[in-house]
């Protein structure tokens, strides 16, 4: 595994190293020793999967409030997706800033989204499957989201307008509303 740090503190892209032969490939997607060496969480009480059938599907920007906030490791199992993260940590030097990466099943990369950051995706292919590891349990009473197209954040989405987006994500709060509601960040 190789790691490239993001401009958002605590976030990083991890490049996996498949061993290939005539059968296909085998690769390690998690190693607690390597994660510990990089200072990343090593316990993952939850793992989830999302499937987006249509290219141009947008999900996000999703997050949980403390104490239920969570680190996520996101990997494309099938297809390719644009992943954006927004730093919501009021004490962070990159508070309110965003970064992005393209996750691809053929590129064999994954991305660590640290606690206190919102994340959203835009699928770049049909039949996109993402695997998520989380270091905390999901709490539906403590989840929230920020409008994916908020102009104060200014994410440069690769497909805009989305082909498919949920009513929840379409009617999400703005960054300014989040700031007021959360008393200026997480």
> In the structure encoding, which two tokens stand for residue 117, read together?
């950051």
- Residue 4's beta-bridge partner residues? 13
Whether 38 sits among the annotated catalytic residues: the reply is no
Residue 15 backbone dihedrals phi, psi, to 5 degrees: -100, 120
First vs last Cα of the chain: how many Å apart? 31
Catalytic residue of the set 30, 38, 108, 132: 132
The candidate with the shortest Cα–Cα distance to 112, out of 90, 93, 91, 135, is 135
Cβ count within 10 A of residue 146: 24
161 φ/ψ sector (left φ>0, alpha ψ -120 to 50, else beta): beta
Catalytic residue of the set 25, 30, 62, 137: 62
Cβ count within 10 A of residue 82: 19
Whether 132 sits among the annotated catalytic residues: the reply is yes
94 exposure class (CB count in 10 Å sphere: 0-12, 13-18, 19+) = middle
Tally the C-alpha atoms within 13 A of residue 186's C-alpha that lie toward its C-beta.
26
Show which residues are catalytic: 62, 132
């Amino acid at each position: 595994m190789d790691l490239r740090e993001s401009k958002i503190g605590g976030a990083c892209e991890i490049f996996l190293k498949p061993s290939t032969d005539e059968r296909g490939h085998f690769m390690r997607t998690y190693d607690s020793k390597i994660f510990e060496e990089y200072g990343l969480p090593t316990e993952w009480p939850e793992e989830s999967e999302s499937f987006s059938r249509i290219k141009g599907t947008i999900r996000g920007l999703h997050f949980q409030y403390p104490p239920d906030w969570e680190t996520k490791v996101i990997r494309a199992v099938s297809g390719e997706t644009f992943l954006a993260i927004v730093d919501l940590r009021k004490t962070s030097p990159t508070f309110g800033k965003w970064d992005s990466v393209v996750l691809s099943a053929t590129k064999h990369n994954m991305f660590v989204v640290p606690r206190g950051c919102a994340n959203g995706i835009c699928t770049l292919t049909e039949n996109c499957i993402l695997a998520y590891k989380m270091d905390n349990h999901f709490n539906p009473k403590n989840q929230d989201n920020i409008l994916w197209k908020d102009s104060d954040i200014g994410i440069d989405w690769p497909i805009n307008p989305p082909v498919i987006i949920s009513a929840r994500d379409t009617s999400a709060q703005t960054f300014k509303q989040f700031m007021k509601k959360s008393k200026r960040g997480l």
